[in-house]
Chain A
Amino acid sequence: MTTTSEKLLNIENLVLHFKTSGGSVQAVDGVDFELGTNRAVVILGESGCGKTSLSKALLRLLPRNVDKYSGKVFLQNQDVMLLNDEEYRQNVRWVGISLVPQAAMNALNPVLKVGDQVAEPAMIHLGLSKAEAYGLVYKMFQHVGVPADFVARYPFELSGGMRQRVALAMALVTSPSLIVLDEPTSALDLLTQANIMNVLKRIKHELGTSFILITHDIATSSELADEVAIMYAGQIVENGDAKDFFPAPLHPYSQMLMASVPRLRSDSDPMFITGQPPSLMNPPAGCRFAARCPFRFEKCSQEPPVFQKGNRKVKCWLYQ
């Protein structure tokens, strides 16, 4: 394993809890992971497992009902959790990390031309004039495959796929070292999905950007992933190299998640996991997956530590 100093991003014990009338929702509960330069990690998990909350915690896009928000987030060796809001805005937002949101449909201001919206971060963070920023906009539009004359269009005049590309161009315009993509393709048809994934691959290759891709679409994401992190009930249960992960996942949840993907040219029916994910309000003590796990034994009533297994980390007593 490489040391912290060589990593682009290093998250240690990130916690984000929300206050609700029923109690504290532990949406992100002690997440650790690392990411190197020009690498892509895919964060996989069911709906409601805390994937989007993880991206919010990472980008400090907090809702009003935050109960607990703590941990360390080292971005290029600087703990950005220590910055105040104004420092964070100036030094991290779109300079260090940018975002391609879940619903690009609504992520663009309906009354501003898309060119202006893409140019905005470049003008603010890079101090460019509007004309210079537009130069970058045209370049980015070319990268993501949007015709140049679309700069003068309004979001409602674009198709869903085009809007997603514009959102991607917007994320790229300041050349950040890391882009968080929150289900960038989930609202799109299969052909457009494939197109966007190809654009992402090309950008990673050409611009050397790192990606955190948050999705539940295992098949599409496997094309881009260098690393995989499996999230379950607010925690990362398995994290490691994608090449090793996809053929042989370690954690029982990962195995069942992978088995639930329908396969072409195979007689085996897709599997499903019985039961429900635990409530994040009162997660069970010990392993959070224990109730649904076919391999559970006495040890599982205690919280499993993270075990190193080859170049993968797994949070399961089976690998003690």
Chain B
Amino acid sequence: MSVTTHTPSEKLAIRRTSANNTFFRVARYVGVRLLTLFITVVIGIYLTIMIANMGGYVDEIIKNQIRDSVTQSVAASPNAQQMDPEVRKKLIADRIALEEKRRGLDTPIAVRNARYLVNALQLDLGRAINLTSDAGSKQVRLIILERLPATLLLMGTSQLFLFFSSVFIALTLSRSYGSFWDKLVIALSPTSAVPPWFYGIFLILIFAAGLRVLPFGGMVDSPPPPNTFDYAVSVLKHLMLPGLSLVLSSFFLSVYNYRTFFLIYSSEDYVEMAKAKGLPTRDVERTYILRPTLPNIITNFSLLIIGLWTGALFTETVFLWPGLGRTLFQAIGLYDVPIIVGSTIIYAYMLALTVFILDFVYALVDPRVKIGE
């Protein structure tokens, strides 16, 4: 074993160059990383635009809709009935052309997509085709902002509850491998194959239709209670069933998942060593199981947080919950491309940002991770 010795001035010089190196390394890493993430986002959004437009087929659908409505409105007008058929045909053709021009369907799809992409990347989400916000706006941004709180309330409560309860229960179960509760959770984990909206229908049948203790759907009583406390109670009552169905459909699988994860990490040599050292169980779990697995847990947690954004499409629909998921569901049914793309863009940006931040978080919680090496 040999230890190299340096004079103080040498040490200082070494430290200074290594600090410089670190700065350049991190700066270079940040630049490259942001660029690659941006390219990924661009590709992702472009693909979403293509898919949401069905590669241009949505244009055909909309053109047909325009033709239909124009023909019908012309046919319904008393003036047109006395017109010469040729003139009427020309009138219809003119009005179709005008409407197509208004909607921008006269420019080629490739050009429109490119323009759309540039706007979308600047978070200029445009206007919805069919949907409007409750306040009457067709601005995609306003529609999304209006629905966001309801989704955050439903998804936030259920997913946070799910996350913390499954991590805590899983940690307890991993301590008693093979016990009755452990086996019960394993046996029940296939229940997660059933989607949440299916549980939702059952819960509605039992608690709303059968027992009549909780409401069928919606977010608040109609008319809404005037004072804040009653309002909150009403929202809470409406939140119960959709929240419960979201939790129920993932709970056992989630516990099973984390329990297996903790079991694997609790058979590491250093965990046994910590037990041999006579550390109390709480310390062993906190410092020797949770601490080394923190990067994985943080990853799961942050993906969960940004996953709140998309909402729960079917569950919100089943419970008539006025959130983003239900709006997205409606938008897909109505080929309302701007809303689908708008929601995806925001998700893509959030995902890219999360991935970017996570790299730094890993370096903070795990000394083995060095940024840009």
Contact = CB atoms under 8 A, between A and B. Distances in A.
Interface of A: 59, 61, 64, 89-90, 92-95, 98-99, 101, 103, 106-112, 120-121, 124-125, 145, 147, 154, 156, 161-162, 170, 195
A170 B275 CA distance: 13
A111 B288 CA distance: 9
Nearest to B291: A111
Which of A61, A89, A109 has the most chain B CB atoms closer than 10 A to its own CB? A109
Contact of A124 (B178, B280, B294, B366): B280
26 contacts: A61-B275, A61-B276, A64-B178, A90-B278, A93-B277, A94-B276, A95-B278, A98-B277, A99-B273, A101-B272, A101-B273, A106-B269, A108-B273, A109-B270, A111-B294, A111-B365, A111-B367, A121-B278, A124-B279, A124-B283, A125-B278, A147-B1, A147-B3, A154-B368, A156-B367, A156-B368
A111 B292 contact: yes
A109 B276 contact: no
Contacts of A93: 275-278
Contacts, number: 77
B277 A101 contact: no
B272 to A, nearest CB: 6
B178 A109 contact: no
Given A64-B177, A154-B367, A154-B368, A107 B273 contact: yes
B268 interface: yes
B296 interface: no
A161 B279 CA distance: 25
B274 interface: yes
Contacts of B366: 110-111
A161 B2 CA distance: 13
Interface of B: 1, 3, 177-178, 268-270, 272-280, 283, 287-288, 291-292, 294, 365-368
Contacts of A103: 269
B368 to A, nearest CB: 5
A99 B272 CA distance: 11
A101 B269 contact: yes
Contacts of A110: 270, 292, 366-368
A109 B287 contact: yes
B278 A124 contact: yes
B287 A112 contact: yes
A89 B278 contact: yes
B1 A162 contact: yes
Contacts of B280: 89, 124
A59 B288 contact: no
Given A89-B280, A103-B269, A120-B279, A109 B274 contact: yes
Contacts of B3: 147
A145 B3 CA distance: 12
B285 to A, nearest CB: 13
B292 to A, nearest CB: 5
A162 B368 CA distance: 18
Which of B268, B277, B287 has the most chain A CB atoms closer than 10 A to its own CB? B277
A57 B292 CA distance: 27
Contacts of B275: 61, 93
Contacts of A99: 273, 276
A125 B276 CA distance: 12
Nearest to B279: A124
Given A106-B268, A120-B279, A147-B1, 20 more contacts: A59-B276, A61-B272, A61-B275, A93-B278, A94-B277, A94-B278, A99-B276, A103-B269, A107-B273, A109-B270, A109-B291, A110-B367, A111-B291, A120-B277, A121-B277, A121-B278, A121-B279, A124-B279, A156-B368, A161-B1
